[in-house]
Structure 1
Amino acid sequence: MRLLGRGNHGEVWLAHDRALKRWVAIKSGLALEHEARDYPRCSAVVVLHDRLDDGRLVFEYCAWPTLAAALTRHWSATQCEQACLSAWRGLASLLASGWAHGDLAPDNLLVSPRGAIRFIDLGSRVRLGQPARHTRRDYSAPEVQAGGAVTEAAEVYAMAAVLMRLVRRTAGTTRLRRQLNRCLDPSPRARPSLVQLTRPLARPSPGARAARLSLLIVGLVTAATLSHVPAPADEFERLSQDAAATRLPGAPVRLVPVPTTR
């Protein structure tokens, strides 16, 4: 066997199960009875295969690295969005089973090269509406750290705190940062629901971008005409480039400043 890692509740070893004819992860340590009891059955968590006579647990082996380890690699904005969406959908699937993870952190999430997320180390999970078994200052919601119950809003906060570690390291993720900042609101009622978070981020359509660009052009020309102050030539040059970039039928490719007289 080979040691895969150590967590809050024990050690995990890689072994080959002759009966299953596959590699498995064997976990030893504390709170294993609690972790094995009513173990959630959903695609977001690693599968629990068996419990050995000595109390150790046999899990499926997933070769993905933890998010904590994957933070050092290069992430594109698209990969980052995929990871966040997968995390939200996985959390929704877990909560639908009636359980909260209770210990969301970068070292308790596995991430694939394409950004798929799976949860591990469910030894701290609790039923929704119950107090947490323990908290983490950097990730647990304020109300949970104060002794309150673990709710959907609390798990949304914890997941957002985890994902923010990734988003802050990735360029081109302004919309994701705004979304996560809303999830980190101190008030549970102000946080988005998982129904909202499990939808892909809306992207502005080319038509909407062209409409906003047209309004901006009209506003500049009108302001320059009414005030009898010529609009800056460099601003018209920038708008010309933006208009050409939309590549829409009929979109202007060159704007000419309107001459004004005093």
Structure 2
Amino acid sequence: MIAFTCPERHQQPAADTVRRGASMGGHTRNGEGRLIRNRYLLRELLGQGGMGAVWLAQDQLLRRDVAVKEVIFSCGPTEEQRKIRFDRSLREARSSARLRHPAIIEVYDAFERDGRLWIVMRYFPGRSLAAILLDLGSLAPERVAHIGVVVLDALTAAHSLGVVHRDVKPANILIAETGEIVLTDFGVAFVDGETTLTLHGEVLGTCLYMAPEQLCGELAAPSADLWALGATLYEAVQGHPPCVGPDASLPASAPLTPIINGLMRKDPEQRLTAHLAGQMLAEIARRPEDPREGAV
């Protein structure tokens, strides 16, 4: 049984922020056609967030499409806050660049220009799991289990190098039309051995998917990523986050119930291990999808 105090629900994202056709919310497109660092030609604004934008660009040297993340730091009211946000974004690039896994977006380059940080990475033309759930409501358990296997494998690779993602959620899982799945956005990741980059009173992550110990301000460990994965799998089969709706519990007979409940145990020491969770998810993922299957 999932037992924790739920924060107030946040609104679901209205659209993808890293794919073609995403709503720009009034963001200027004046950057289209610019050549950055005499190499990267900005072609299309793919999305935006509170700290910048993501562009589809062409690497003029290697003649391939890339995604370029433009990180803007002018929103911070103090120089200290701007520096922390810059350092955190640079750490995102560094932590992602040290990871080599097919389900983690590869970082190619990073540099500072005009007071902004530019991160060049693999272009992945997919939709976020969050957007897919907005369209479909929920997914079959077998498909959710497959997503879980891929994301868990990516997290295991990150954890083996001392990197904790800290923000696993449907919006940070991208799925291509080919079925390929990747985990994105290591922007709030914690790297073992490095200084924590936070502002006073700041909690990093997304509350709906944060482990209880994270909400209490404790340092995130790999077990916190496992909790967040459990919350993500829950939303994928139920159609809403675990603390939203009249009943947060899963039907006892649902195939993913033992896994989700095991990943979301309040005590981090009592949660399913990544190895055991991976085995259980893989077993369900191998089953053929039942078209008559409901949300769970």
Residue-pair matches, total: 202
Cα distance in 2 for partners of 1:140, 1:181 equals 15
Relative to structure 2, which stretch is displaced further, 113-122 or 156-165?
113-122
Give the secondary structure class of the aligned counterpart of 1:94: helix
| Counterpart selection for 1:190 from 247, 270, 280 | 270
> Could you say which residue in structure 2 is the equivalent of 1:50?
109
Deviation digits for residues 50-106 of structure 1 (CA, Å, limit 9, x no counterpart) = 124513111110011111112124733332221111111111111112101122222
Give the secondary structure class of the aligned counterpart of 1:84: helix
| Counterpart selection for 1:65 from 127, 143, 149 | 127
5+ residue gaps, structure 1, are 204-262
> Could you say which residue in structure 2 is the equivalent of 1:161?
231
| AA partner of residue 195 (structure 1) | H
Query: Over the residues paired in the alignment, what is the CA RMSD in angstroms?
Result: 2.6
> Could you say which residue in structure 2 is the equivalent of 1:35?
92
> Could you say which residue in structure 1 is the equivalent of 2:60?
18
Cα distance in 1 for partners of 2:155, 2:141 equals 21
Contact between 2:139 and 2:237, CA under 8 Å: does it hold in 1? no
TM-score using structure 1 length: 0.69
Contact between 1:102 and 1:155, CA under 8 Å: does it hold in 2? yes
Contact between 2:148 and 2:229, CA under 8 Å: does it hold in 1? no
> Could you say which residue in structure 2 is the equivalent of 1:180?
260
Which aligned pairs between 1:1-262 and structure 2 lie closer than 5 A? 1-7=43-49, 9-29=51-71, 30=73, 31=86, 32-38=89-95, 39-43=97-101, 44-54=103-113, 55-71=117-133, 72-73=135-136, 75-113=139-177, 116-128=180-192, 133=198, 134-169=204-239, 174-201=254-281, 202=283
Q: For the structure 1 residues 117 and 9, does the alpha-carbon distance in structure 2 shift closer, same or farther, using more than 3 Å as the test? A: farther
Contact between 1:79 and 1:115, CA under 8 Å: does it hold in 2? no
Cα distance in 1 for partners of 2:207, 2:151 equals 21
- Report the alpha carbon displacement of residue 27 of structure 1 after superposing the two structures with TM: 0.4
Cα distance in 2 for partners of 1:145, 1:176 equals 25
- Report the alpha carbon displacement of residue 2 of structure 1 after superposing the two structures with TM: 1.5
Structure whose residues are more often helix by fraction: 1
Cα distance in 2 for partners of 1:102, 1:121 equals 10
Q: For the structure 1 residues 53 and 151, does the alpha-carbon distance in structure 2 shift closer, same or farther, using more than 3 Å as the test? A: closer
Identity of aligned residues (%): 26
Contact between 1:67 and 1:106, CA under 8 Å: does it hold in 2? yes
Larger radius of gyration: 1
| AA partner of residue 270 (structure 2) | A
| AA partner of residue 59 (structure 1) | M
Give the secondary structure class of the aligned counterpart of 1:56: strand
Cα distance in 2 for partners of 1:120, 1:50 equals 16
| AA partner of residue 98 (structure 1) | G
Q: For the structure 1 residues 194 and 145, does the alpha-carbon distance in structure 2 shift closer, same or farther, using more than 3 Å as the test? A: same
- Report the alpha carbon displacement of residue 17 of structure 1 after superposing the two structures with TM: 1.4
Cα distance in 2 for partners of 1:174, 1:131 equals 39
Contact between 2:167 and 2:225, CA under 8 Å: does it hold in 1? no
Say which structure, 1 or 2, has more relative contact order (CA 8 Å, 6+ apart).
2
Q: For the structure 1 residues 179 and 132, does the alpha-carbon distance in structure 2 shift closer, same or farther, using more than 3 Å as the test? A: farther
| AA partner of residue 142 (structure 1) | P
Cα distance in 1 for partners of 2:208, 2:192 equals 21
